[in-house]
Structure 1
Amino acid sequence: MQSLITPVHKPVPVEILQAELRKVCGAFDLEPMGRDGTMAGDVASRRIGYFETAVVGLDARHVSRSTRSIRQDPGEHLFLLIQDEGHCRVEQSEKTATLLPGDMFLVDSVLPSSFVYDGVRSSQVSLHMPRHEMLHRFGKECTGGVAISRDDPLWVAMRAVLTKMLAEPGATTQLGEAFFCLMGAYLQGIRTQNKARPAETLLSRALALIDRHCADPGFGPSELARRLNVSERMLQRHFQTLGETPGHRLLGRRLELARARLGAPQQGQGGQGIAGIAFDAGFNDLSYFYREFRKKYGITPGAVVRSPVERCH
């Protein structure tokens, strides 16, 4: 994806870069990768339409805005963070999103936030939107941290308007208003979706995703949390009501799937072998499958294939 802005990465003392970041974006703390007191980066501000905008390039390990920082500098903005180059993991309000070039995340300045770069050179564009105006326009859906999915057609339109605003220094207020309208439409979609599924909890969504993807060996608790846009820690807390972990639930579903296939009549007629069934049920370690199967059911997979009684259950 073509970059919106050419990034600047020049050696700068950490304290100077942090001071520039605080001047433009507010109270954020930088943690560099090395111990030599320097980072490669730059922070610049510019006006895009009627949005104050920060262009931030850096190779930090981590940037954070803590509760203490918020008390010192409450902040009155929502930051629309656009990843332009590199990558970044954003965490806010128990939500986690990994941003690749082109991805967007609406950060709420009144809540703690964390940005993890792991030393990879990153370039980001941050549109600063007055929080009170956003709340007046769009309601609470714009607060608390919002990932904007590139799978939504509105993402394409937002990207196009943003590109035009950046390309035209004298961008008119009409473009800014168009951008607001597109964001409003996206947030309205979130509101409508939430109203259409009032009884659907995060746990019920998680269980549905496990049932749908349990046969995929690459689908684990971390991927489940990513799809739900929450942290693994938050996901664990929701599963406590069931008395199990997401990983245990996923394992149980895979074992149930394997047992059902092992007990199918065609298995006794030269059907798919035990190893094939285990792999198709989401296991990529056969010895682990045998061990967990026996632990759960008290018999071996082979016993299920051989026993007509077991196939009836």
Structure 2
Amino acid sequence: MQSLTTPGHRPVPVEILEAEIRRVCGAFALEPMGRSGVVNGDVATRRVGPFDTAIVALDASEVARSPRAIRQDPGEYFFLLVQDAGQCRVEQGDRVAELSPGDMFLVDSVKPSSFLYRGERSNQVSLHIPREEVVHRFGHACAGGLSISRDDPLWLAMRAVIAKMLLEEGAQAQLGEAFLCLMGAYLHGRGTGNAETLLSRALAMIDRHRADPSFGPRELAARLNVSERMLQRHFRPLGETPGHRLLGRRLELAHARLSARRNEQAAEGVTAVAFDCGFNDLSYFYREFRKKYGTTPGAVARCH
């Protein structure tokens, strides 16, 4: 199976690599194979679609997250662990999985976990999916860890979306939404989740209609057959309102389109992009774009 990434293995002092893992992934303890105090490995970070992502290479004995570490550093994520090269044995509660290249395991950060490498070189991609979003989309179906079977056709679809997000720098946010929808379908097919929660339907609808300037929170609530107040309650765990979510998706779409335009199109392209992405007020578009990205739409177009 073709690798998703090409991380490098270089000699690193154990305490430095452990500090990098802690900085990127949270409180984990690293156990080397020998007593040399050196591990061959590396930790890199990427923004993959809408997800913060760690790319970890190492040849350690074990990496573990203990109950004490969890008390010190409460979990905020589910880590979707994709084995890219080498082997790894994942143990979380009573769930155990032997990962080979291509295998995936959804790690619950609030439960103790161990990753055994036995000193063999391993490359892994870890997508950090906000815990609140997963819980409110799918309930507690993922609590305690979940192995994603490669015998399920949806496994291949999920891997394809991950590969596309990794290949396309600054991949559009709808790829992340597509991935979460596939995960919901996988859980629903196993009878362990509900892929059609109101929040899940609302997020998918926002992604589908964000380029329509007439589509707003009121229209969204009407299509879902709920009141605007009830819709806001469902969005509250995400820390945003339906309107803020819709604005963010429109800005992400505009940024992606401006980034793809040629320099000579920049002058006349910004206005067209703004209208094509659901904005009907240019001053509002410029203000919110600068607030989100720290630069102007024209600067993004010229840069690319």
TM-score range, shorter chain: 0.5 to 0.7
1:58 corresponds in structure 2 to 58
Separation in 2 of the partners of 1:84 and 1:190? 25
Is the 1:83–1:125 contact (alpha carbons within 8 Å) kept by the matching residues of 2? yes
Partner SS, residue 141 of structure 2: helix
1:126 corresponds in structure 2 to 126
Cα drift, residue 193 of structure 1: 9.4
Cα drift, residue 80 of structure 1: 0.1
2:217 corresponds in structure 1 to none
Q: Deviations over 1:139-198 (max 9, x none)?
A: 11122110000000000100111111111012101111000000011111222699xxxx
Separation in 2 of the partners of 1:175 and 1:92? 28
Q: For residues 298-309 of structure 1, what are the structure 2 equivalents within 5 Å? A: none
Separation in 1 of the partners of 2:118 and 2:159? 26
Q: Deviations over 1:247-287 (max 9, x none)?
A: xxxxxxxxxxxxxxxxxxxxxxxxxxxxxxxxxxxxxxxxx
1:149 corresponds in structure 2 to 149
Q: For residues 37-76 of structure 1, what are the structure 2 equivalents within 5 Å? A: 37-76=37-76
Q: Percent identity?
A: 70
Indicate how the Cα distance of structure 1 residues 156 and 67 shifts in structure 2: closer, same or farther if over 3 A, else same: same
Separation in 2 of the partners of 1:7 and 1:89? 20
2:182 corresponds in structure 1 to 182
Q: Say how many residue pairs are matched.
A: 194
1:36 corresponds in structure 2 to 36
Is the 1:141–1:190 contact (alpha carbons within 8 Å) kept by the matching residues of 2? no
Cα drift, residue 10 of structure 1: 0.2
Moved over 4 A (4+): none
Separation in 1 of the partners of 2:188 and 2:8? 36
Is the 1:141–1:191 contact (alpha carbons within 8 Å) kept by the matching residues of 2? no
1:200 corresponds in structure 2 to none
Separation in 1 of the partners of 2:44 and 2:170? 18
Q: Deviations over 1:18-44 (max 9, x none)?
A: 000000000000000010100000011
Is the 1:88–1:100 contact (alpha carbons within 8 Å) kept by the matching residues of 2? yes
2:115 corresponds in structure 1 to 115
Separation in 1 of the partners of 2:193 and 2:28? 33
Separation in 1 of the partners of 2:4 and 2:171? 15
Separation in 2 of the partners of 1:150 and 1:29? 29
2:211 corresponds in structure 1 to none
Unaligned runs of 5+ in 2: 195-304
For residue 40 of structure 1, what is the amino acid of its counterpart? N
Cα drift, residue 93 of structure 1: 1.6
2:300 corresponds in structure 1 to none
Unaligned runs of 5+ in 1: 195-313
Partner SS, residue 129 of structure 1: strand
Q: Deviations over 1:192-214 (max 9, x none)?
A: 699xxxxxxxxxxxxxxxxxxxx
Cα drift, residue 79 of structure 1: 0.2
